[in-house]
Structure 1
Amino acid sequence: MNTRRIWELMARKLANEATAEELQELSALFRDNPDTELPAGLVDELWQKTTAAASEESAIAAHDRHINRMQAMGIPIGQTLTETPTPLTAIRSRRPYLWAAAISTGVLLCMAAWWWTSSKKNNNAIASEVTTRNGSRTSIQLADGTRVWLNAGSKLSYSKDFGKNDRSVTLSGEAFFDVAKQADHPFVIHTETMDIRVLGTSFNVRSYPEDKTTEASLITGSIEAIVKHNATRIILKPSEKIVVMNPLPAIARSAKTQTAKEETTVTLSHVSYYAAQTTAITETSWMENKLVFKDESFTELAQQMERFFGVRVQFDNPQLQQLRFTGIFEQETVQQALSALQLTAAFRYEIQHDTIIIH
């Protein structure tokens, strides 16, 4: 959908029909879809060359018509055709522009064909997509019998051929998988920082783009996690989890000095429990409609509250972001949850529609 909208806006831009709002929308789409910026830039550049060639051709034709009219009226123009073959020179000067225009037009058509083919391939590759908004959760059963529970603010996508020879999905957000066993066709989950390969098991994957880490927690069976940036392969056992640092945004990367110590990229640990029972696993508590947090900063907790309650949280005082909390929310409203937090930390809040401002 974004790709189609980008090319619609590019067409309006090249035709000088795009409004200021549409140009701003196009810039935002390029930021969110960097892979499309290069081909769009090439089309823009080639279009400008074609337009310039057409303008030059029109100017030369107008000049020739003016000279012919002057000669017909007997007006001296300083040189005759026998002295200097001016029209012949003009014809030679036009050919490079006409040639460039033809090449540019051909390339534009090739680019359009490339985009059309690419978009058709993408449509075929990703035929199904399941999404959840903040404050909502859902569960689905895939064609191979695998059951997936999708947490708030998440997206799961897979191809139309899923369940035949292909058992791979792409996850952005958090999901719990109960994978159907098929020894000949491994089940693969793709996230931004790692891939997870399984045969038949149950586990939780958390991969929100705005979080600092991506993690996979194994409940039963066995899974293999492949970290993308260094191809590290780790086999997990039940009750183990792998945590991988997400790549920093471009601005944050440029702000870091070369001498700064790099954080540990991959860590292996055990799942945590929020109660004495072995089934009270923190990593899967969201499936029981519980928000469990342990020694987390107010910033991290605010992100979880946004997904859990379907609200937005803003901080008026940056120092409050460093407050740390431990607790469990289950049946509380967002107002009750904030009032409970106020018992252990000094802060105020106000609610404006679906936005909570922390003072």
Structure 2
Amino acid sequence: MDYSKFEVEDFLCDDSFLEYCLETNPEAVKFWNDWLDKHPEKALVAERARKLFYTLNGNITAETFHRDHELFKSAVTERLGEHIVKPDFFAVNRKNYVRRLWIGAASLAACGILVASLFFLKSEQTKIPAHSETLSYATPMGKKRKVKLPDGSVVTLNGGSHLQLQQGFNTGNRELSLTGEGYFVVVHNAAKPFIVHTEKITIRDVGTEFNVKAYLNDKATEASLINGLIEITIKGTAHTTVGLTPVILAPNKKFILINDAPASGKTPGITKPIFDVKNITTTENNSVAETDWTQNKLTFVDEPLSEIATQIERWYGVKVIIANPALNNLHFTATFDHGDIVQILEALKLSGNFNYRKEDNMIRIY
């Protein structure tokens, strides 16, 4: 079979791929690991299919499946006696645990593994009330963190970022607040739009991939769309005129809001543009500059040294001081793998004609 043409729905309708997701068949696990190693271009699609499969089946993962497997066997032994042969989930007829799932609204077909015996075990357990406490995640300077949300969506947080879920996330809503930078891979759910609140804008989405950069001290708030469609509303009483008409962002476009720009001019009824929509930036290596950070690449495209210093602070957890104000306007274009900070400074120094001194966690550029 030509798996190279598979999309998300095709993977979800392949029985061996479902066995790979739950790790119930060692041969399937080996086959798909080997196949994905040989076809890295399909890794992202396969990963989306795997995460969607878990979501459609109550967030059952390979880990929870095997855990419940052991719990069930223990429960049967305890109830029926040691002389009863322990059941093996992996030996049951395939027809007893595979169920086809169809999502008609988007014509998306998906197949999931559901083991009836698990529900027997869970029905005997005391129901636990839904968790009502607000969840939050944070990353210190110099660190990144990947978070899987309760709805199956995945967020990668850059250094110095904070993410907070609203109470009732994935039950009554799918809303959260972000300070800093996050890359979102959102699970589709038309009934519950995924909404990201930042200080300046609100982003509404129903299932896509996008990057949000909303550090409080930055000059601009940005949203870069990779796949899908998002709707952006500008917040604040000063932006009421613009906020009434949401901006619909198309793939490969970037929304940029100048945080401290005035909302209107002196002439009544005339509103100055406070935001812009541009193409995302593609590097010479055909990567996306706005999301290179998720691949541990530090990318600058015609950026001033003052902004590069801020990014270095977030990446390495250091303090950067530019002692000579004239150096702030030096512009650089470069891509670095996440390596030693000294190597990056040396490379910038060669083309920027400046010096620096490193003292513990402080970099002084002069």
Task: Give TM class, smaller chain.
Answer: 0.5 to 0.7
- Distance (whole Å) between structure 1 residues aligned to residue 341 and residue 285 of structure 2: 27
Q: Report 1:256-335 matches (<5 A).
A: 264-277=273-286, 280-335=287-342
Question: Where does residue 182 of structure 1 map in the other structure?
Answer: 189
Q: Report 1:21-60 matches (<5 A).
A: none
Question: Where does residue 82 of structure 1 map in the other structure?
Answer: none
Q: 1:196 to 1:331 in 2, by over 3 A?
A: closer
Q: 1:178 to 1:353 in 2, by over 3 A?
A: same
- Distance (whole Å) between structure 1 residues aligned to residue 362 and residue 266 of structure 2: 38
Q: Helix, strand or coil: the match of 1:343?
A: helix
Identify, as 1 or 2, the structure richer in helix.
Answer: 1
Question: Where does residue 245 of structure 1 map in the other structure?
Answer: 258
Q: Which runs of 4+ in 1 moved over 6 A?
A: none
Q: 1:332 to 1:170 in 2, by over 3 A?
A: same
Q: Report 1:31-180 matches (<5 A).
A: 127-180=134-187
Answer yes or no: is the 8 Å Cα contact 1:126–1:159 preserved in 2: no
| Structure 1 residue 235, shift from structure 2 partner | 1.0
| Structure 1 residue 357, shift from structure 2 partner | 0.7
Per-residue CA deviations over 1:37-56 (Å, capped at 9, x if unaligned) read xxxxxxxxxxxxxxxxxxxx
- Distance (whole Å) between structure 1 residues aligned to residue 302 and residue 179 of structure 2: 25
Answer yes or no: is the 8 Å Cα contact 1:151–1:173 preserved in 2: yes
Q: Would you say how many aligned residue pairs link Structure 1 and Structure 2?
A: 225
| Structure 1 residue 282, shift from structure 2 partner | 0.6
Q: Helix, strand or coil: the match of 1:308?
A: helix
- Distance (whole Å) between structure 2 residues aligned to residue 306 and residue 140 of structure 1: 22
Answer yes or no: is the 8 Å Cα contact 2:196–2:202 preserved in 1: yes
Q: Which has the larger radius of gyration?
A: 1
Q: 1:263 to 1:213 in 2, by over 3 A?
A: farther
Q: Helix, strand or coil: the match of 1:181?
A: coil
User: TM-score of the superposition, structure 1-length normalised?
Assistant: 0.60
- Distance (whole Å) between structure 2 residues aligned to residue 190 and residue 125 of structure 1: 20
Percent of matched pairs sharing the same residue: 38
Counterpart residue identity of residue 308, structure 2: L
Q: 1:343 to 1:236 in 2, by over 3 A?
A: same
User: TM-score of the superposition, structure 2-length normalised?
Assistant: 0.58
Structure 2's unaligned 5+ residue stretches are 1-130
- Distance (whole Å) between structure 2 residues aligned to residue 125 and residue 227 of structure 1: 29
CA RMSD of aligned residues (A): 2.1
Question: Where does residue 235 of structure 1 map in the other structure?
Answer: 248
- Distance (whole Å) between structure 1 residues aligned to residue 330 and residue 348 of structure 2: 10
Q: Helix, strand or coil: the match of 2:352?
A: coil
- Distance (whole Å) between structure 1 residues aligned to residue 133 and residue 292 of structure 2: 30
| Structure 1 residue 343, shift from structure 2 partner | 1.0
Q: Helix, strand or coil: the match of 1:200?
A: coil
| Structure 1 residue 263, shift from structure 2 partner | 7.3
Counterpart residue identity of residue 246, structure 2: R
Q: Helix, strand or coil: the match of 1:275?
A: coil
Equivalent of 2:208 in 201, 210, 234: 201
| Structure 1 residue 237, shift from structure 2 partner | 1.3
Answer yes or no: is the 8 Å Cα contact 2:313–2:319 preserved in 1: yes
| Structure 1 residue 126, shift from structure 2 partner | 7.0
Counterpart residue identity of residue 282, structure 2: Y
Question: Where does residue 210 of structure 1 map in the other structure?
Answer: 217
Answer yes or no: is the 8 Å Cα contact 2:289–2:301 preserved in 1: no
1:356 has 2:363 as partner: yes
